[in-house]
Amino acid sequence: MTMLPEPGVPSADPDPAVEASKPGETVGLSQGRLILRRFLGHKLALISISLFVLVAALGLSSIGFGPVPGWWSKTPNSLYPLRDGGQPTLSLIPFKMGEHPFGQDGIGRDYFAMCMRGIQNSLLVIFVIGILTTVIGSVIGALSGYYRGWVDSVLMRFTDLILVIPVLVLAAVIGKGLGAEGALLLSLFMGLVLWTGMARLVRAEFFSLREREFVDAARVAGASSLRIIFKHIYPNAIGVVIVSATLLMSAAMLLEVALSFLGLGIQAPDVSLGKLISDNQTAFNARPWLFWWPGLFIILIALSINFIGDGLRDAFDPRQSKFNPRKTKDPQKPIGDVSWANPGIGS
Amino acid sequence: MAAFIFRRILVSFLILLGASFLIYVMIALATDPLQEFRESRLPNRDQLIAARVQALDLNTPIPLRYLGWLQGALGCALPFADTCNLGLNFNGQQVSELLARAVPATLQLVTSATLIAWIVGISVGIVSALRQNTGFDYSVTFAAFLFFSLPSFWVAVLAKEFIALPFNDFLRDPVISPLAAIGIGAVSGFIWSSLIGGDRRKRLAVFAIAGVGTALVLVYLAATDWFLNPGLGPVIVVLSAAGIAALMTMLLSSLKDRKAVLTSGITAVIGVICYAALQPVLDDATFATLLLLGGISLAIGGAVGYLVGGYDRGMQMRLGAMVAFFISLVVLIDRFMQSWNAYVTNSAIRGRPIPTIGSSTPTIRGDFWIQATDTFTHLLLPTAALVLVSIATYSRYSRAGMLDVMNQDYIRTARAKGLPERTVIVRHAFRNSLIPLATIVAADVGALLGGAVITEQVFAIPGMGQLFIAALQRGDPNPVMAFFLVVAIFVIVFNLIADLSYAALDPRVRAR
């Protein structure tokens, strides 16, 4: 991981040795182009991106969000007369939605609208937590890794302090306090405590990058510390950051549905996919579709994000590709691809 | 080294202090201990509120209240002093007592999950690294991604519906239809052929042998009512003892190594004799007896290896101990199977052995074997739901570690000096690939304990996780703090163990 061969934007000190050591790549492309091309070659990641966009578009456009109206006429919390025991009316061949495509729950609410609302909340959680943890984790990790010394000690002891509390305990306590206040506030506060894994990754990355020649060059040229950190070093660490942010997003979503399942996350009248499952698990034999739909969407979203992350990792870190058989001989580096791990979020 | 450990413990203690203050403040801000009275219409409502404010000391500012809690909690650090005071819950019970009652169920769950995740995750990861870029490797990778994306509570509910209930129904009338036998046979043939690998002809042969073999065994087992009266019997025990001896010899040395064959052969013979002789002892065994017998068998295996000796005495001792261990395992499984029928027909079970709630059948009576079987059947589904994520993690890390190691120069050296590939993998690559896993396994303990909260909720296991969730939902601070304390101590201790074992396993780290 510490050997990441120059991921990042082209402006940031490209290393000619690495450029030259890729005989299989066309000469004359910028780093960003190379990464994009490698990513586009990853079929599974492309399929995942389309799937994710499809699910997101469905969730956002169907019942509308905020002031924007959607194309689906029913709302998550209105009651409709129960038809046919709430059976789903969706049929794929010939395709037709029918009155209640995903069926109705025990009291007649439209399950399609409820699931769409749940998807919207999951997307909100994913992006708010993803952005917040990336920003906080990057800043703390960068300062800690660049300045070292007492700054590092203080920041890392603070990180340890949060890291010692299991994620689920932290999130459950926050969910208990803020779950009823809505998904936005909940995910904002969850983002405030979930950045620890990201901070450690960025710090490790900075530890090795700050010793490189281009940093000395920038310093000799008179660049300020902040400029060196954010203009010179950080772009070189962007690969690790993006990959782990992606994986963190799927973990964050799973965390939110788990909390809502436990009754400590998003509260009624709002809808969460996890809450839908917990509300309907006792009716499994009578109305199994109430159980399948939310689970299906959770897996779809989480799986596609994980595969996107995998594609990004391969694009940023093509160490194992056939054209680049360089090996790592860094005893400090514990394992091949640490960046693959979910940074700090277990289920 | 001692100074290092001492400093680490001191720092850990300070971190624990800070974290406990942080979480105490968070709990105090997030929960409202008076919430259940807010909308109450009881005539003595004001009195109840006053009593709770008094009991929880709610009028004191939060930091001072924390100091009070800390004083009680620090009493727990003194062993045998009976000064432990984690406060009372809403019903006036001592939290330390509640915790003591809840810990065993959680510990059972997390321990079994950890063991299974190690064994399955690491072996799957290693094999998929050795079969890199094959169908098996791709399937394992896909499965790992899938496991990462599955919500564990969803899997748990599914497991109840689609594993426990059908299996119990199956046991009522254990008949395997020809179609099912063919299907299971095909699956097993596919798994074996992709595991063993080789060219197309070899794979086809393996597929045919494994598939037909599995199907025939299934049909035979069903025809003889084996599922109701399972058991291995002396023949299978002897055969598997021989098989284990041969396999271990092949793995650690080779069948051409006379001394190794001698060691494993003698150990296997002793194992079979003990199997025949010890049945009466096993019949009224307790947990302590089993531990003792296990220890003795390891010692015997090691002693045999020592006596056989040779140029590589350490290896012989390991070989003997491993053969002894696995034969003991077979004997143990055989003994459990002998009790299975008594368990299933027990009046508390009534033919439905896979339960979906609780951590034990409260009304069950019987000897050690019945009780232990009862615990295992209760652990089966929760463990399965809990380990998925860990298995995925370990398999990815051990795969990456193995690939990393296989590219190292010393592996090329080992091959170049003419060692058989088996020796290269087992003695050179496998051990070194395990080193980095030590860190990950330790870091995973916190995640497992967190995951146990969800699993316990779905399967209604009366463990720490349930204590935590129930208290948090009511706004009861002291049990929540107690749960945090136990989990945080576990996390800290395991991280310390990881650091120490890393230094012990990897001399490069120590040298620094």
**pLDDT tens digits, B444-461:** 888 888 888 999 988 888
How far apart are the C-alpha atoms of B455 and B380, rounded to whole Å? Answer: 12
Q: B168 and chain A: CB distance < 8 Å anywhere?
A: no
What is the number of other CB atoms lying within 10 angstroms of the CB of residue A230? 14
Question: Is the complex ipTM higher than 0.90?
Answer: no
Nearest CA-CA distance, residue A246 and chain B, Å: 13
**A210: Cα within 13 Å, side-chain hemisphere:** 20
Q: For residue B510, report the phi and psi dihedrals to the nearest 5 degrees.
A: -65, -40
CB proximity list for B258: less than 8 A, separation 6 or greater: none
How far apart are the C-alpha atoms of A247 and A256, rounded to whole Å? Answer: 15
Beta strands in B163-252 (DSSP E): none
Instruction: Choose, out of B24, B153, B457, the residue to mutate when testing the contact with A (most A CBs < 10 Å).
Output: B153
Contact B152 A258 (CB under 8 A): yes
CB proximity list for A229: less than 8 A, separation 6 or greater: A142, A143, A146, A206
Nearest CA-CA distance, residue A326 and chain B, Å: 10
Nearest CA-CA distance, residue B465 and chain A, Å: 10
Nearest to B450 among A166, A284, A341 (CB): A166
Per-residue pLDDT at B308 exceeds 80: yes
pLDDT value, residue A310: 86
Q: Which has the higher per-residue pLDDT, A123 or A178?
A: A123
Q: B137 and chain A: CB distance < 8 Å anywhere?
A: no
| Residues B40-77: b if buried by 16+ CB within 10 A, e if exposed | eeeeeeeeebeeeeeebeeeeeeeebbeebeebbeebe
Helix (H, G, I), strand (E, B) or coil at B358: coil
Q: CA A122: distance to chain centroid?
A: 11
Nearest CA-CA distance, residue B461 and chain A, Å: 14
Contact A261 B454 (CB under 8 A): yes
Tokens of B497: 């163990």
With CA atoms as reference, the chain B residue closest to A346 would be B447
Give the per-residue SS3 of A42-78: CHHHHHHHHHHHHHHHHHHHHHCECCECCCCCCCCCC
What's the mean pLDDT when you consider all of chain A?
Answer: 79
How far apart are the C-alpha atoms of B211 and B184, rounded to whole Å? Answer: 8
Which DSSP category does B435 fall into?
A: T
Q: Which has the higher per-residue pLDDT, B59 or A342?
A: B59
pLDDT value, residue B80: 63
What is the number of other CB atoms lying within 10 angstroms of the CB of residue A39? 18
Contact B27 A173 (CB under 8 A): yes
Contact B157 A281 (CB under 8 A): yes
Assign B354 a pLDDT band (cuts: 50, 70, 90): confident
pLDDT value, residue A26: 53
pLDDT value, residue A263: 86
Contact A250 B148 (CB under 8 A): yes
Tokens of B316: 């012989």
pLDDT value, residue B510: 60
Contact A284 B29 (CB under 8 A): no
Contact A169 B484 (CB under 8 A): yes
pLDDT value, residue B389: 87
Q: For residue A79, report the phi and psi dihedrals to the nearest 5 degrees.
A: -95, 140
Which residue's structure tokens are 């049909």?
Answer: B219
Mean pLDDT, rounded, for A239-244? 86
Could you tell me the CA-to-CA distances from A299 to A51, A126, A296, B443 in Å, in that order? 12, 14, 5, 25
Q: B16 and chain A: CB distance < 8 Å anywhere?
A: yes
Q: CA B452: distance to chain centroid?
A: 12
With CA atoms as reference, the chain B residue closest to A177 would be B30
Dihedral of the CA atoms B166, B171, B173, B179 (nearest 10)?
60
B 142-161 near A (Cβ less than 8 A): 145-146, 148-154, 157, 161
Mean pLDDT, rounded, for A111-129? 90
Tokens of A282: 């006792």
Note the pTM of the prediction, 2 decimals: 0.83
Per-residue pLDDT at A25 exceeds 70: no
pLDDT value, residue B420: 86
C-alpha angle B357-B361-B367 in degrees, rounded to nearest 5: 145
Contact B149 A258 (CB under 8 A): no
pLDDT value, residue B366: 76
Nearest CA-CA distance, residue A221 and chain B, Å: 34
pLDDT value, residue A324: 31
pLDDT value, residue B414: 92
Contacts of A313 in chain B (CB under 8 A): none
pLDDT value, residue A136: 94
